[in-house]
Amino acid sequence: MRGYFGIGVERFSKPMNAGNLFRTAHAFGASFVFAVDADPAIGKAGSDTSLTPKNLPFYSYDSMADFNLPDDCTLVGVELLDEAVELPVFRHPRRAAYVLGPERGSLSPEMQARCDTMVKIPTSFCLNVATAGAIIMYDRVLNLGRFAERPLSPIGDPVPRDAHVRGEPKIRSKVS
């Protein structure tokens, strides 16, 4: 996959949730993780069994005034807002940083203003931050990774051109 991504949190107070997010980021190949105006214990969460801050750059910013990203890095806020782009139609930037808000709140107005774009996971209500981050990263890997197209058939066989009946693919049996 070309490009890079980082993921972080703003105004976070639950180290276990951040640890889960950072561990998942490490597993998905993040280039860095970060925290803005967060509990100092964020980088030492016991739930991060991959020890992400020892294996990837971990940036901790005391405030929005200190927050900075690499040049040409698109900041993507993850927030359940009416005006946010829904994840299934979002085109991930090649060079991006994704930021998620606190457990019981939203990204600050300052952070939202700083974001180049906002994206939302189309759910009925907010998800746990580690879960939301995992969904965002999985979607990024699916969209920017080098994977073959999914087969049209649930059993993985190529579907013949004339197999469509009422819009459904015809499933061929494996009977010899």
Q: How many Å separate Cα 132 from the centre of its chain? A: 7
Q: What is the DSSP string of 78-134?
A: E---TTSEEGGG----SEEEEEE--TTS---HHHHHH-SEEEE---SSPPPHHHHHH
What domains appear along the chain, each with residue ranges and CATH number? Answer: 4-144 (3.40.1280.10)
The mean pLDDT values, 10 residues at a time, for the chain of 176 residues are: 90 79 91 87 64 81 94 96 96 97 90 97 91 96 83 67 49 46
CB 22 within 8 A of CB 45: yes
Q: For position 165, what pLDDT does the model report?
A: 46
Q: For position 154, what pLDDT does the model report?
A: 74
pTM score of the predicted model: 0.82
